[in-house]
Structures are given as C-alpha cells and as structure tokens.
Amino acid sequence: MNSDICLLSHAEQALRLSRIGVSEPTLVCDNANLFYLTGRIFSGYVMLRPDAEPVYYVKRPVELTGAGIRYIRKPEDMGADFPGGIERLALETSSLAYGDALRLQKALGAREITDCSAKIMAARAVKTPAEIEALRADGISQSAVYRRIPRMFTQGMTDIELQAAIEYASRLEGCLGIFRVNGPSMELHMGSVLTGENADTPSPYDFAMGGRGISPALPVGASGEQIKPGAVVMVDMNGCFNGYMTDMTRMFVNAETADNLDPMITKAWHCSRAICSRLAADGKPGTSARELYETALAMAHEQGLGAYFMGHRQHAGFVGHGVGIQVNELPVLAPRSKAVLAEGNVIAIEPKFVLPGIGAIGIENTYVVTPSGLECLTNAPEEITALT
C-alpha cells in the first residue's frame, strides 16, 4: 500500500487546486472533496491557503506519511496552528453539519464562516485528463457488466432478483458498490431496475424514475414484482469502479426477440435515443444547459410524449446531470439552469419516459464534453435487448 497521504502527482493536485482558486483559508472534510484533493479517503481535514502547500490534519488511519501531514485527535488540536485565529474560514457549508461547523469555527478562532462547497463543486465539474481516464475505465467496466445482463435473467425472476444478479456481477467486475450522492438525503442501493407499472410510483427523490422499493425504509426502485413475459425492463445500475462513476441506462424485454414490441415502446425508445444523439451533437463548450433541456423537451412533445417525459405521476426536473465522484454533479441540464458546457464536463443524459400501463422507457449515456462535441463513455449496445 502507498502510505503517502496524497496519491495524486504534484502536478495533478496543483491543477485541481488552481481550478478551485483558493482565495482564503479553506478547510475541507467532505469525503468526495478529500478524494478530489488527495486521491484517497481519510478521516480528517485538508487546510488550503492561498500560495501555500496543503496541510493534512489526519485522525485516521494511523501510519500515513508525506509532506504537510499532522495527526490530530480532535478538531481543537488544529487550533495551535492558528494562534491569532482566522478572519474568514471557508467551510463546506452545503455538507458540513451545523454543529461541526460551529465547532471548527471555534477551534480555529474564525470570526466568520464562508462557503467553499459551491466553488469546489464548480471546480469538480470540469474534469482533468486523469479524471476523464478514470471515467473512461468505469464506462468500459460498466459496459462489460451490461453486456452480460441477458445471461443473468431466468424466466420467473422478479425485478429485485435481476437487480441482485446485476449487483453481484458488478461487484465481481470490481464495482465498489457505494454510490456517492451530493446532499444528505438521497439514498439508493447500487441503482435501479424497473419493470411494469412500478416505474410510475413516485419516489422521495428527484430521480428520473420512481419505483416503490421493497420497504418503506427505502422506497425507490425495484419492488419485488415479477418480470412478466413481454414486459420491458429498465436497468440503471452502479458504475463506480474506481471512485468515479459513469451512469448508464439500457432497456431489456422479457421475450425471445425485441422485434414485436408495442409501438408505444418503440416510439418512446426511438425518441430517447434521438434526444441523446441530438444533444450529443449539439453539446459543445459554450452550449447552454438550459437549451439542451429545452431541445429534449421539444423533441418529446413533437412525438406526443411530453406528458410522460421524465416521469408521469411525478416528474424529474432535468434531462441530464454531471457525474464524477458523485452521481449528481454539475452542470444540470434543466429548465432554469444558467450553466454553459465547458470542455471537460462529464454529463449523463437520460431522456426517459414512463408510459402508464407499460413502464419506464429510455436510455442513458455518460459523455465527456470535448471541443468537437460530446464523446460517449458508456459504449454498450443501445438497442432494446431480448432477455431470453
């Protein structure tokens, strides 16, 4: 094991720091941000200051080494390094607990707390070449799992049984299982497999699709419903193999061939795929995220599918979202977004429909924004695939 606290090269870390643009003392402790700044998870804090090397205050694990590392038992142990206190201390106010923020303010003698969450999220939205390589590797692993899905299915299976089989295959492929989400409340276990009417059950979260879940303790996704002959199945499973995650959705049908589908299914699937293609062609550095959403919505309406776009009984308010260390990063392709795409953004585009009486239909791919357009990182076949 490499015991150096920072697993990133100096140049890679410097690039990430320059994107954050540290302008005041900034204390970071959110796991996703620690991973961004060091390439590893530990328990503790990174103190960033303008024109200074990072200082790593570590509680656990023991035995880490490297420049700038200082072991502490509790936040108050950092105080000695700031004898005169700090005028303004930037903290992750969108994830750090209120009580912890006040404790850190006191421990470091800070007169004012400011926010660094937004700034770091903005920096993380523009992936470095090394991060794009990690996401590319994820896309390859996730695609390998998806290609094997028909072989995991046996007649009579429920949605949760198929999901468990995909989870198992994913874990054997190297998937970490965890699913890092920005914000405290969104919970999901490794993704979602939806069949039939269940897709139309509203969920607590702003996810593209719903689902009742198997317990009111986790009311989202697969519900234990059998995958009926002829039924379509939407698979949107975990793509986190190395700390970064791609996001991909594919459609399957419980039939020997996908040639004789209900015309509504075919129409919705074609529309989803057409939206992906169109947005992939339109999306370039400088393209408005709002306009991409509007294009997608207009294409859904043109096909008479507007009422089913991104849900039916409950609608999600976006058609795409950044992905990276967390599954819901920036930019968001949404009606009121002010974002424009930048080179290095990595976004999942997921135009999906819920057709009453039929279920969830649509595909999703993860793309990196390049000067010449969107490059797809999730290259599994997009066709609706027969399961039997």
Are 364 and 207 within 8 A, CB to CB? no
Give the bridge partners for 55, in sequence order.
Answer: 47
H or E element in which residue 369 lies: strand 365-370
Considering the complex, what minimum distance in angstroms separates the CB of residue 315 from its own copies?
9
Measured from the CB atom, the residue of 29 and 120 that comes closer to its own copies is: 29
Are 217 and 224 within 8 A, CB to CB? no
The 3-state DSSP class for residue 373 equals: strand
Measured from the CB atom, the residue of 67 and 218 that comes closer to its own copies is: 218
Lookup: tokens for 140: 């390859």
Measured from the CB atom, the residue of 39 and 331 that comes closer to its own copies is: 39
Considering the complex, what minimum distance in angstroms separates the CB of residue 153 from its own copies?
15
φ, ψ for residue 71, nearest 5 deg:
-80, 135
Considering the complex, what minimum distance in angstroms separates the CB of residue 338 from its own copies?
18
Measured from the CB atom, the residue of 79 and 204 that comes closer to its own copies is: 204
- C-alpha span between 296 and 309 (Å, rounded): 9
The 3-state DSSP class for residue 16 equals: helix
Measured from the CB atom, the residue of 162 and 268 that comes closer to its own copies is: 162
Measured from the CB atom, the residue of 11 and 218 that comes closer to its own copies is: 218
Report if residue 101 touches its own copies, rule: CB under 8 A: yes
Considering the complex, what minimum distance in angstroms separates the CB of residue 316 from its own copies?
10
Q: What is the DSSP letter of 357?
A: T
Residue type, 118: A
Q: Which of residues 55-94 bind its own copies (CB under 8 A)?
A: 60-63, 91, 93-94
Q: State the burial class of residue 303 (Cβ atoms within 10 Å of its Cβ: 0-12, 13-18, 19+).
A: middle
Q: What is the DSSP letter of 20?
A: H
Binding mask of the shown chain, residues 143 to 182, with x at each position contacting its own copies by CB under 8 A: -----------------xx-xxx-xx--xx-x-xxx----
Report if residue 201 touches its own copies, rule: CB under 8 A: yes
Report if residue 388 touches its own copies, rule: CB under 8 A: no
Sole binder of its own copies in the list 66, 68, 79, 204 (CB under 8 A): 204
Measured from the CB atom, the residue of 39 and 351 that comes closer to its own copies is: 39
Considering the complex, what minimum distance in angstroms separates the CB of residue 171 from its own copies?
4
| Of residues 221, 176, 225, the one with CA closest to residue 202 | 221
Are 112 and 88 within 8 A, CB to CB? yes
- Total residues binding its own copies (CB under 8 A): 67
Lookup: tokens for 238: 């975990």
Q: How far is it between the farthest Cα atoms of the chain?
A: 74
Stretch binding its own copies (CB under 8 A), from 35-43, 121-129, 270-278, 366-374:
35-43
Sole binder of its own copies in the list 26, 37, 42, 46 (CB under 8 A): 42
Measured from the CB atom, the residue of 77 and 206 that comes closer to its own copies is: 206
Binding mask of the shown chain, residues 243 to 262, with x at each position contacting its own copies by CB under 8 A: x-------------------
Helix extents (H) in 112-257: 117-125, 129-147, 149-152, 159-173
Stretch binding its own copies (CB under 8 A), from 198-206, 246-254, 297-305, 374-382:
198-206
Going by their DSSP bridges, the two strands 69-71 and 55-60 should be labelled as parallel
For the sheet containing 232-237, what is the strand order?
191-195, 232-237, 250-253, 385-386
Report if residue 219 touches its own copies, rule: CB under 8 A: yes
The sign one gets for the Cα dihedral 167, 173, 177, 181 is negative
| Of residues 205, 155, 157, the one with CA closest to residue 315 | 205
Sole binder of its own copies in the list 33, 142, 195, 203 (CB under 8 A): 203
Contact residues: its own copies, CB under 8 A: 1-2, 7, 29-31, 35, 39-43, 60-63, 91, 93-102, 113, 115, 117, 160-161, 163-165, 167-168, 171-172, 174, 176-178, 184-185, 187, 189-190, 201-206, 210, 212, 214-219, 240, 242-243, 313-314
